[in-house]
Amino acid sequence: MPDLAIRCRGLVKRYPPAVTAVDGLDLEVARGECFGLLGPNGAGKTTTVEILEGLLAPSGGEVEVLGRRWGEDAAGLRERIGLTLQETHLYEKLTARELVQLFRALYRRGRDVDEVLRMVSLEEKASSWYERLSGGQKQRLAVAVALVGDPELLFLDEPTTGLDPQSRRQLWDVVTELKRRGKTVLLTTHYMDEAERLCDRVAIVDHGKVIALGTPRALVAAHVGQEIVEFQLDGAADGDEAAFAALPAVQAVRRVAGGWQLVTDQVHLAIPALLGSLTARGQAAVALSTHRATLEDVFVTLTGRRLRD
């Protein structure tokens, strides 16, 4: 049996009368793994994470975190985990260093305050009041506060939502560094690029259930394929789905908003064949593009929806 940081079975959270936020969710996260929970808003990611963090009681199912249950030793578990909430506000009129010091004092053991500020590149802002930090700086400080207890397991709930590219990159560096140190990280996101870049494995969550699980690469290979060719037809002409599917090296055909997608593992064969076929029919392709298949494509394949619809 692998050494698990998180194990949950049949997790359910209902908000009577009619809402089921989490609907029988199973999850296993190994120690040292960076695991991503992906899904659109309202999929149940935050509810799941808050149950795992011991902040919400589940309506049903079993949860074990670091080999313990929340009912057994909540105080002991809190010493060993760190977290950021989806929306963190800290004391507006305390400085970054005062805030990290305060949270440091709440844990029996932990990291050096200045070291943590350095990890999130906030050493120059150490004496600034929280209210005067930018959105990205506040989010990094929330991560600093989560790290100062030197947790074995870190939960990050949408750590980069709404951040500028530079701040996102800085947060990614922090997570990468934590992975290097062998910490377990569970993060939620609706950015597929973030998950592909950071996560060893991801679970795609929709309507409170895991609908796909695996490494980003394996998920893409299993559900989509290697490459996506995307195009639109010139004018009002309608495409012939069967004809596209019959093209060499094309594994699947999908109609997407305003155009078509072909899934292939050999772009160099598929594109000439496509163009030849269109020319033969007197049609032309516009806005032709190809991209490596991503988790976004996996989500579209599985649900027929885009992530941020």
Quick check: 96 binds other proteins (CB under 8 A)?
no
Instruction: Count interface residues toward other proteins (CB under 8 A).
Output: 42
Quick check: 111 binds other proteins (CB under 8 A)?
yes
- Two tokens, residue 51: 């149950």
Sign of CA dihedral 196, 198, 199, 200: positive
Nearer to other proteins, 66 or 271 (CB): 66
The residue from 45, 104, 190, 223 that contacts other proteins (CB under 8 A) is 104
Contact criterion met (CB below 8 Å) for 204 and 213: yes
Quick check: 87 binds other proteins (CB under 8 A)?
yes
The residue from 94, 221, 252, 269 that contacts other proteins (CB under 8 A) is 94
DSSP 60: E
Nearer to other proteins, 40 or 110 (CB): 110
Count the helix, strand and coil residues of the chain and give each as a percent rounded to the nearest 5: 35, 30, 35
Per-residue contact flags (x/-) with other proteins for residues 28 to 47, judged by CB under 8 A? ---x----------------
Give the C-alpha separation, 113 to 136, whole Å.
Answer: 19
Quick check: 114 binds other proteins (CB under 8 A)?
no
Q: Nearest approach, Cβ of 90 to other proteins (angstroms)?
A: 7
Quick check: 105 binds other proteins (CB under 8 A)?
yes
- Two tokens, residue 105: 């004092």
- CA angle 118-80-99, nearest 5°? 40
Q: What residues form DSSP beta bridges with 23? A: 12
Contact criterion met (CB below 8 Å) for 132 and 124: no
Residues that bind other proteins (CB under 8 A): 3, 31, 53-55, 66-69, 72, 75-76, 78-80, 83, 85, 87-91, 93-94, 98, 101-113, 129, 145, 149, 152
